[in-house]
Amino acid sequence: MSKVLIIGAGGVGSVVAHKCAMNSQVFSEIMLASRTKSKCDKIAAEIKEMHGVEIKTAQVDADIVAETVILIKQFQPKMLINVALPYQDLTLMEACLATGIHYLDTANYEPKDVAKFEYSWQWAYQERFKQAGLMALLGCGFDPGVTQVFTAYANKHHFDEMHYLDIIDCNAGDHGKAFATNFNPEINIREITQPGRYWENGEWVEIPAMSIHKPIDYPGIGPKESYVLYHEELESLVKHFPTLKRARFWMTFGQAYITHLNVLENVGMTSIKPINFKGVEIVPLEFLKALLPAPDTLGENYSGQTSIGCQIKGIQNGEEKTYYVWNNCDHAETYREVRGQAVSYTTGVPAMIGAMLMLTNEDWMKPGVWNCEQLNPDPFMEKLNEHGLPWQERVNVELPHEYPN
Q: Does 62 bind ligand NDP (CB under 6 A)?
A: yes
Window of 77-85, 172-180, 195-203, 207-215 that interacts with ligand NDP by CB under 6 A: 77-85
Window of 116-124, 138-146, 314-322, 325-333 that interacts with ligand NDP by CB under 6 A: 138-146
Window of 24-32, 80-88, 267-275, 367-375 that interacts with ligand NDP by CB under 6 A: 80-88
Of 5, 6, 11, 305, the one binding ligand NDP (CB under 6 A) is 11
Q: How many CA atoms lie within 13 A of 360 on its CB side?
A: 18
Residues 281-300 that bind ligand NDP (CB under 6 A): 294-296
**Torsions phi, psi for 35 (to 5 deg):** -65, -40
Nearest-approach distance from CB 321 to ligand NDP, in angstroms = 27
CA distance 353 to 334: 16
Nearer Cβ to ligand NDP (238/322):
238
Give me the residues paired with residue 369 across strands: 136
Q: At what angle do helices 146-157 and 233-240 cross, to 10 degrees?
A: 20
Of 119, 129, 142, 198, the one binding ligand NDP (CB under 6 A) is 142
Nearest-approach distance from CB 293 to ligand NDP, in angstroms = 10
Nearest-approach distance from CB 128 to ligand NDP, in angstroms = 22
CA distance 296 to 358: 27
Q: Does 43 bind ligand NDP (CB under 6 A)?
A: no
Residues 213-252 that bind ligand NDP (CB under 6 A): none
Of 18, 39, 102, 158, the one binding ligand NDP (CB under 6 A) is 39
Contact criterion met (CB below 8 Å) for 341 and 331: yes
Q: Does 107 bind ligand NDP (CB under 6 A)?
A: yes
Of 60, 135, 221, 285, the one binding ligand NDP (CB under 6 A) is 60
Q: Does 88 bind ligand NDP (CB under 6 A)?
A: yes
Q: Does 368 bind ligand NDP (CB under 6 A)?
A: no
Of 79, 84, 95, 135, the one binding ligand NDP (CB under 6 A) is 84
Pairing of strands 135-138, 161-171: unpaired
Strand order in the sheet with 27-34: 56-59, 27-34, 2-7, 79-82, 102-105, 135-138, 368-371
Neighbouring C-beta atoms of residue 292, cutoff 10 Å: 17
Measured between alpha carbons, how far is residue 122 from residues 91, 110, 111, 125, 395 in Å? Answer: 11, 10, 12, 6, 35
CA distance 96 to 79: 8
* Terminal CA-CA length for the chain: 52
Q: Residue type at 311?
A: Q
**Interaction site with ligand NDP (CB under 6 A):** 7-13, 34-36, 39, 60-63, 83-86, 88, 106-107, 139, 141-145, 183-184, 187, 294-296, 343, 347
